[in-house]
Structure 1
Amino acid sequence: MHRLLLWAVALFVSLAHAQFGFFDQMFGGNQQQHHNEPQNVPSDSAWYRGNVEKMRCDKYLCPDTLACVHFPHHCPCPFPSIEDKVELAEGNRLCASRGGFKDGETARKIELARKGML
């Protein structure tokens, strides 16, 4: 009889733990798992300004990549694997998403847009 009662209590405790453990996970009761997730960056620019202030560049410091180059139109694109760089006549550069276009198509479309033909 003792064994049966002990077995029933053990079964009840394990079922209760499984049930409430499920509800804890469903409704956020188990918060300790979330501590290892990456956090969003802060919404101010302090990190960026801090890195810019640490940079040493006696030429032109590209604002989006922090590369030190001779002229602004020499700045690399932040994501060269998916962006095309187009040097503009005014000595600036533009980085535009390739968007699935073939090589050179982004630059051609930008030039057509500059001429008012697109």
Structure 2
Amino acid sequence: MDLIHYLTAFLFLVLPASAQFQFFEQMFGGQQQQQAQPQNAGSDSAWFQQQYEAAHCDKYLCPATLSCVHFPHHCPCAFPAVEDKVEFGDGSMVCVSKGGWAEGEASRKIELARKGLI
């Protein structure tokens, strides 16, 4: 009978310790779940072409932003926080990096370049 008491006592000591170790193992990364790592964008234009072809637009589809607008010069800039939009008289437009210190500096330089002054 003493053997049964020893085995019972041993099981009562070992089983909670085993469960405790499993808990800590899960808490501190013993059984980490694999997280999907983001992949780098492809080095070719296949993804963009797929997006362009899948876009529905019955007017003008802006090539840089895939926005659907009535006219090409209505296209938004892709990064308006750092780009200025300059519209030309012929109905076209361009997005350029914002100029240095003055508001509208980029469009002023483009206009000077169009006139051949710089």
Residue aligning to 1:49: 49
Counterpart in the other structure of 1:98: 98
| Mean Cα deviation higher: 51-60 or 39-48 | 39-48
What's 2:64 paired with? 64
Structure 1: gaps of 5 or more residues? 1-34
> Residue 86 of structure 1: SS of its match in structure 2?
strand
Question: CA-atom RMSD, angstroms?
Answer: 1.6
2:87 paired residue number: 87
TM-score by length of 1: 0.65
C-alpha distance in 1 between matches for 2:117 and 2:102 = 20
User: Aligned partner of 2:52: which letter?
Assistant: V
Structure with the larger helix share: 1
How many residues get paired? 84
| Structure 1 stretches of at least 4 aligned residues deviating more than 6 Å after TM superposition | none
- Percent identity over the alignment? 61
User: Are the structure 2 counterparts of residues 105 and 99 from structure 1 closer, same or farther at C-alpha, using a change threshold of 3 Å?
Assistant: closer
3-state secondary structure, aligned to 1:49: helix
Structure 2 distance, partners of 1:67, 1:77, is: 10
From the superposition, tell whether residues 95 and 101 of structure 1 become closer, same or farther in structure 2 (CA, over 3 Å): farther
**Structure 1 residue 41: deviation in Å?**
1.1
Structure 2: distance between partners of 1:70 and 1:78: 17
Q: Which residue of 2 aligns with 1:8?
A: none
Provide the TM-score with structure 2 as the length reference: 0.65
Query: Unaligned stretches of 5+ in structure 2?
Result: 1-34
SS of equivalent residue, structure 1 residue 109: helix
CA–CA distance in structure 2, aligned partners of residues 38 and 100 of structure 1: 35
Cα gap change, 1:42 to 1:56, in 2 (>3 Å): same
